Amino acid sequence: MTNAIAPPIVRLRGVGKTFANGTIALEGLDLDVRSGEFLSLLGPSGCGKSTVLRMIAGLASPSAGSIDWSDAQSRSDLGYVFQDSTLMPWTSVFNNVWLPLRLSGLSKADAATRIEEALSLVGLSGFAKSYPRELSGGMKMRVSIARALVLRPRLLLMDEPFAALDEITRFKLNNDLLRLKAELGTTVIFVTHSVYESVYLSSRIAVFASRPGRIIDTIDIDAPYPRNEDFRHSALYAERSRAASTALMSAIAAEDHL
């Protein structure tokens, strides 16, 4: 809707990535990330989803094509969440969330309010003094999300963040993520290989095929936010899930001969 008119935050054109060992991870990728959208990258493992995310984050550079930002500031206005929570085990939850602020030179005292805010956003207010190993997998992931959000980034990159969690925890975190996104207005790029997760969360899904990694289909999920569990039982959800599954199946069929 309105988002479609707004200029993309970041625009990928003809992006390719060939690794030093000759692996062609991606080829000819065109992708616009629109401001405020929840974009899922859905595809079988090995199709280059993480590579796209890493290139957008500036952690890897494309070997072909271009990545253009709407403005220079957005380029570094990022949060990143990995598949495992990637916390520093030697220090407290508080200090883990402090990290992005600390690296930009903020003292503990100056950062304290923002750290507590971020922790309360993910529902972990009482756990600032805990150590990562004292928390469950879901709670660790919440800390990881709090750390990514503490700088209030414009764009949040998430690489299969809930893939290692049980389904109940996952549903809960899905809802929390939607709430956070609505509250903060963050744009999200969300990598997943779960059809249902991507349909439930996204405003748009880019379906990937592999060898070489490329986008074979784009599916708009034009259901309004806020979404809740009722959405899982709606006709639109069923229809879009079928469309996404079909696209994913054809992506997998394309590599069957390999």
Q: Can you name the residues that pair with 16 across neighbouring β-strands?
A: 64
Picked from other proteins, ligand ADP, Mg ion, none, the partner binding residue 69 (CB below 5 to 8 A depending on kind) is none
Q: Is residue 176 at the binding interface for other proteins, with CB under 8 A as the rule?
A: no
Picked from ligand ADP, Mg ion, other proteins, none, the partner binding residue 21 (CB below 5 to 8 A depending on kind) is ligand ADP
Which residues of the shown chain bind ligand ADP in the complex (CB under 6 A)? Answer: 19, 21, 23, 25, 43, 45-51, 213
What are the backbone angles phi and psi of residue 64, rounded to the nearest 5°?
-150, 160
Distance CA 133, CA 140 (A): 8
Taking CB under 8 A as the criterion, the residue among 25, 78, 121, 158 binding other proteins is 78
HEC profile for 110-171?
HHHHHHHHHHHHCCCHHHCCCCHHHCCHHHHHHHHHHHHHCCCCCEEEEECCCCCCCHHHHH
Smallest distance from other proteins to CB 104, Å: 7
**Between 18 and 130, CB nearer to Mg ion:** 18
Distance CA 149, CA 121 (A): 9
DSSP at 231: G
Taking CB under 5 A as the criterion, the residue among 25, 37, 38, 50 binding Mg ion is 50
Q: How far apart are the first and last CA of the chain?
A: 40
Q: Letter for the amino acid at 12?
A: L
**Between 11 and 102, CB nearer to other proteins:** 102
Q: Please name the residues in contact with 41: beta carbons below 8 A apart, sequence gap of 6 or more.
A: 49, 52, 53, 189, 190, 191, 192, 205, 206, 208
**Between 101 and 215, CB nearer to other proteins:** 101
Q: Which two tokens stand for residue 140?
A: 């660790």
SS3 at position 87: coil
Picked from other proteins, ligand ADP, Mg ion, none, the partner binding residue 25 (CB below 5 to 8 A depending on kind) is ligand ADP
Smallest distance from ligand ADP to CB 42, Å: 10
Q: Is residue 192 at the binding interface for Mg ion, with CB under 5 A as the rule?
A: no
Q: Is residue 76 at the binding interface for other proteins, with CB under 8 A as the rule?
A: yes
Sign of the dihedral through C-alpha 245, 246, 250, 253:
positive
Q: Is residue 107 at the binding interface for other proteins, with CB under 8 A as the rule?
A: no
CA-nearest of 52, 4, 54 to 28 is 52
Give the footprint of other proteins on residues 127-146 (CB under 8 A).
Answer: 131-133
Smallest distance from ligand ADP to CB 179, Å: 26
Picked from other proteins, ligand ADP, Mg ion, none, the partner binding residue 23 (CB below 5 to 8 A depending on kind) is ligand ADP
Q: Which residues would be at the binding site for other proteins (CB under 8 A)? A: 54, 57-59, 76, 78, 80, 82, 84, 86, 88-91, 99-100, 102-104, 131-133
Query: What residues line the site for Mg ion (CB under 5 A)?
Result: 50
